[in-house]
Each structure stands twice: as C-alpha cells, then as structure tokens.
C-alpha cells in the first residue's frame, strides 16, 4: 500500500490513553488512531483465547485503516495476545506490518529503578497469571526478584469513576498491603495496568515513602522513539500531520467523558462500525 499512514494505538478501553498521552507528547508530529474496545472491556479476567480473539480483531481493524504499526497500550492484551499475533498472524497475513506491546519495553529498563533488586508488579489477574513480567524481566535483569499482586477491583473502580472516593481506600490499601506482605525489601512498584495511573493520588496515601512508583507511559514512548530510529523502513511509512482520531466500540458519550479524565483534554470520539 502506497502513501503515509497513522500509528494505531489499541487498548481494551480508556487505559491506553495514559500511554498514548506520553507517546503523542514525545512523537507529536505523527498521526494517530486510538481504538478502545470498551464494548468488550474489561479484558482483565478473560481467557487467553478471548483476549487474543478480541485483540486480533481490533488490530486487524487498525490495519484496515492503513496503520502499518500498532501499539498494544494494554498489559493484558500484551500478555495474552501479542506473542500469537507476532508469531502467527503477522508472518502469515500481514508480513509488512508490526505490532508492539508494553511489557517488553518496561522489562528492558525496570531493573534500573531498584536498589534492593526486589520489585513489585501490580496488574490485572490476566497480566499477573500470565507470568509475563517475571519471565520478561528475568531476560534483562536476572538478579531482580519480582513479586506480583493482582488488583481485580481497581479497573472497575476507575471505570465507574469511584477511584478517588472514600470507598476506593479499602481496595487500594488491601492490594498494596498484600503485595508488601510478600517482601519488605520491595523498593519499586510498577503499575502494570494502563488504567492504574489514575489511582496514583490514592496509592500515594498508602505507599511507604521510600518506595518508587513506576508508570509505563514514558517508558513505552521512549522505546517507540528508539524503535523508529532503528527502523527507518517503518518510519518512512508513517504520516506526520499531527492528527489524532479516537474510536470506541462502546458508547461514544461515555468514552468522551472518561477519555477527558485519562487524557486531560476534551476529545470527540467516533463509534466503531466494524
Ligand atoms: N488497561 C488494561 C491493562 O493495561 C486493563 C484493563 C482491562 O482489564 O481491560 O491491562
């Protein structure tokens, strides 16, 4: 296909907007299409097969819009669908397109943020049970011990806009406590779900001050800058008119309302008609 095309950004819903925000800031010249699969989210408790099927259908839709490069700005999709898409679907059906996730770029640098060599990873059940973080981190930082905690109530609290209300305190405290109970040497915690940055004000209330809290937006954006420098053949296929277009498979007005919270700016999304 000739011409220049946008970068596709995919998430199960709104969470990917926290990553998109950093990417669009660092790589502001490029065009972007964001797709949130709100109609079928949250993905966190779905099986491997379901997350793969949903994620692939969204990636294929972004390919149809012309995007040669798609970022899975969702840990759950990166944990459960990325490998199959990269190893099976791309070579067979889309050999010239690329799909990148958020787990590997994070694993590549996370060891630089710990002195004790013990880190905590908080994510959805899907991400935690997949074991993707311990496996990937071990490839780059063999000496780092990874403790994981799933936080199944955090995404629903955020999606129902209850995350900064009093009721959220119980579950914020509970999951932090369960993680820190596993080791008192943890000095760095990764928020391994793109929704969780919205909970930071509450998390900070319950997190001991010496523990660093790490989010993924800037890490993924830096990694994409590096990727485009190393892959000029992909870079030259990308359009640079600074356009941003948002699609949701769910309710548009609800998406617009939530998206403003995640992105810090007003947007007008389109309804996905597959
Ligand atoms: N934003 C997704 C992630 O990073 C989780 C939300 C969901 O469960 O759909 O894992």
Q: Are residues 65 and 127 in the same domain?
A: no
Locate the ligand 1 atom nearest the alpha carbon of residue 11 and give its number.
Answer: 1
Which of 215, 235, 251 finishes a domain? 215
Sheet holding 212-214, edge to edge: 145-150, 118-123, 188-191, 212-214
- Look at residue 136 and tell me if it is in a domain: yes
Locate the ligand 1 atom nearest the alpha carbon of residue 192 and give its number.
Answer: 4
- Check: CB of residue 77 under 8 Å from CB of residue 43: yes
Structure tokens at 94: 């889309």
Q: Which residues of the chain have pLDDT under 70?
A: 1, 274
Q: According to the model, what pLDDT value does residue 273 have?
A: 81
> What does the longest C-alpha to C-alpha distance in the chain come to?
55
- Look at residue 240 and tell me if it is in a domain: yes
Nearest CA to ligand 1 atom 2: 74
Which of 197, 215, 233 finishes a domain? 215
- Look at residue 265 and tell me if it is in a domain: yes
Q: Are residues 113 and 28 in the same domain?
A: no
Phi, psi of 106 (to 5 degrees): -70, -45
Q: According to the model, what pLDDT value does residue 260 have?
A: 85
pLDDT in tens, 135-174: 999 999 999 999 999 999 999 999 888 998 999 999 999 9
Residues, the chain: 274
Q: Are residues 114 and 129 in the same domain?
A: yes
CA dist., res. 257 & res. 79, Å (int):
28
Q: Ligand 1 pocket: which of 40, 153, 193 to mutate (most atoms <8 Å of CB)?
A: 193
- Look at residue 1 and tell me if it is in a domain: no
Nearest CA to ligand 1 atom 6: 42
Q: Which residues line the pocket of ligand 1, CB cutoff 6 A? A: 11-13, 15, 41-44, 74-76, 124, 127, 155, 193-195
Q: Are residues 48 and 172 in the same domain?
A: no
| Active site amino acids | 74, 193
Q: Are residues 112 and 190 in the same domain?
A: yes
Ligand 1 centre to CA of 15 (Å) is 6
Report pTM.
0.95
Q: Are residues 140 and 192 in the same domain?
A: yes
Ligand 1 centre to CA of 1 (Å) is 32
For residue 148, the domain's CATH number is 3.40.50.1860
Q: Are residues 110 and 95 in the same domain?
A: no
Q: Could you identify the residue written with the tokens 């994981």?
A: 148
- Look at residue 74 and tell me if it is in a domain: yes
pLDDT in tens, 207-241: 999 999 999 999 999 999 999 999 999 999 999 99
Q: Are residues 98 and 128 in the same domain?
A: no
Q: According to the model, what pLDDT value does residue 1 have?
A: 54
Within a 10 A sphere around the Cβ of 167, how many other Cβ atoms? Answer: 10
Ligand 1 centre to CA of 149 (Å) is 14
Which of 215, 233, 248 finishes a domain? 215
Q: Are residues 169 and 43 in the same domain?
A: no
| Residue 208 belongs to domain spanning | 104-215
Ligand 1 centre to CA of 23 (Å) is 18
- Look at residue 2 and tell me if it is in a domain: no
- Look at residue 245 and tell me if it is in a domain: yes
Q: Are residues 242 and 149 in the same domain?
A: no
Locate the ligand 1 atom nearest the alpha carbon of residue 195 and give its number.
Answer: 1
- Look at residue 98 and tell me if it is in a domain: yes
């Amino acid at each position: 296909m000739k011409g220049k095309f946008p970068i596709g950004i995919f998430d199960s819903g709104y969470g990917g907007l926290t990553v998109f925000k950093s990417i669009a800031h660092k790589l502001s010249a490029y065009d972007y299409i964001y797709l949130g699969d709100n109609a079928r989210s949250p993905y966190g408790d779905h099986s491997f097969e379901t997350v793969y099927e949903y994620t692939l259908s969204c990636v294929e839709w972004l390919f149809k819009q012309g995007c040669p490069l798609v970022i899975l700005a969702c840990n759950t999709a990166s944990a459960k669908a990325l490998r199959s898409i990269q190893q099976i679907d791309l070579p067979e059906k889309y050999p010239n397109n690329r799909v990148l996730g958020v787990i590997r770029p994070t694993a590549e640098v996370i060891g630089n943020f710990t002195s004790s060599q013990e880190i905590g990873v908080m994510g959805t059940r899907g991400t935690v049970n997949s074991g993707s973080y311990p496996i990937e981190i071990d490839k780059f930082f063999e000496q780092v011990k990874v403790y994981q905690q799933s936080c199944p109530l955090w995404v629903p609290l955020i999606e129902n806009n209850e995350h900064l209300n009093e009721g959220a305190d119980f579950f914020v405290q509970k999951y932090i406590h369960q993680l820190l109970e596993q080791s008192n040497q943890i000095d760095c915690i990764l928020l391994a779900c793109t929704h969780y940055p919205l909970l930071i004000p509450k998390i900070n209330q319950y997190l001991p001050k010496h523990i660093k809290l790490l989010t993924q937006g800037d890490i993924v954006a830096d990694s994409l800058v590096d990727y485009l420098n190393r892959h000029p053949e992909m870079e030259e296929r990308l359009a640079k008119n600074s356009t941003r277009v948002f699609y949701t498979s769910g309710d548009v007005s609800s998406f617009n309302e939530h998206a403003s919270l995640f992105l810090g700016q007003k947007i007008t999304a389109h309804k996905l008609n597959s």
